[in-house]
Structure 1
């Protein structure tokens, strides 16, 4: 990690625990599907969701539901009543102390696929003061893995790709596009993407961790 001056973080399942709203979404989708006569349960949908992440589908939840609800009209009906409860997301307990310490060593940014209000949520979490650059898909109109969101973050930071590292939970959305641009990349194995296949060089991660605290030994 020599020469790294900037650390860019994904948010969902990297700094922020998405498991409560994801589990709530699973419950909602199963209940709505059963009202249409489908008999699968939460465990079955969870298994398909894990598989969809492993297979690098861009929209894993939609893919998983499609395998269990084959009729398009039924899928539309199920999804129409589903509400992702963003307010249930919370930062991981170790996120703030790790970010605070890393901010003393490097400059920090965010590259994330998020709905509107990313900065406001970071402020609620107590994380906003530690980030100098925030690139969120909703505000920019471009989402990972599109390289343009990474290029915008690098431009805003005024740093070269080789001076930056991307930290995220998804091989497809975080690691591969960062490596393709010449950035370093750290894969944190958390959430539904934890079993994604790791590609070989040059697109594989420079490091693999399972806890945020391990970043303190890398940087």
Structure 2
């Protein structure tokens, strides 16, 4: 990564700036409870381990992958899903996320490229992120999602930025790092959440840097 060329820093949201561990744990609890009503006996720790394995295998939708593997009946899966609700209100910004955006925005333009449900701009406002974000591309509003390269190109076009002038920061190798690198962007992998178990690709698709948490990001950009 040539830091001198970088003008824009694009962030993912879930498990990058936003801690999704609480709603994911709640979804696992709901899954085991709804499955038990149909005679399936899964423990939450078993589901968690299966989710981590699904991430490791680059499953596009890990929870869906686990459900399809463990609940063969499509009718049962549909019934289980009807009894589940993702509790987005349980999401919280990571403690250092706001400070990170504040510090980076003094030297760089900040953007968002994220697979998110409707209402992302309003949530960013609630978190206090909005003053520091110049471009927000969220899948529900954009009508496309990562890892589709067109989604990244949309963000770059809105930023009027060439790929080599941008870096993507995210928690998923498959959704964030590989597509960004294929377009010529730099990429930083943040090993937070269950996607931390994903294998690191070799060669040109490897991340330019790896951080265990977002707390390590400022040192990569700010002297």
Q: Which category of TM-score, normalised to the shorter sequence, fits these structures?
A: over 0.9
The C-alpha deviation readout for 1:147-202, integer Å capped at 9, x for no partner, is 01100000000010000000000000000000000000000000010110100111
Show the counterpart of 1:120: 122
Q: 1:74 matched to which residue of 2? A: 76
Number of residues paired by the alignment? 219
How far apart, in 1, do the equivalents of 2:172 and 2:134 lie? Answer: 23
Pairing partner for 1:47 from 49, 52, 57: 49
Measure the CA separation in 1 of the matches of 2:134 and 2:153.
16
**Equivalent residues in 2 for 1:3-152 (5 A)?**
3-152=5-154
Q: Give the Cα separation in 1 of the matches to 2:74 and 2:53.
A: 20
CA positional deviation for 1:95: 0.4
Other-structure match for 2:216: 214
- Secondary structure at the counterpart of residue 178 of structure 1: helix
Taking structure 1 as the reference length, the TM-score comes to 0.98
C-alpha displacement at 1:116, in angstroms? 0.9
Q: 1:189·1:210 contact (CA, 8 Å) conserved in 2?
A: yes
Unmatched runs of 5 consecutive residues or more in structure 2? none
> Normalised by the size of structure 2, how large is the TM-score?
0.97
Measure how far apart 1:68 and its partner are. 1.8
Range 4-13 or range 205-214, more displaced: 205-214
**Are 1:8 and 1:166, in contact at CA under 8 Å, matched by a contact in 2?**
yes
Instruction: Indicate if the aligned counterparts of 1:45 and 1:65 stay in contact, CA closer than 8 A.
Output: no
Q: SS of 1:14's equivalent?
A: coil
Measure how far apart 1:35 and its partner are.
0.5
The residue number in structure 2 matching 1:192 is 194
Counterpart Cα distance in 1 of 2:70 and 2:41: 9
Give runs of ≥4 in structure 1 deviating > 3 Å. Answer: none
Q: Which runs of 5+ in 1 are unaligned?
A: none
For the Cα contact (< 8 Å) 1:40–1:68, is it kept in 2? no
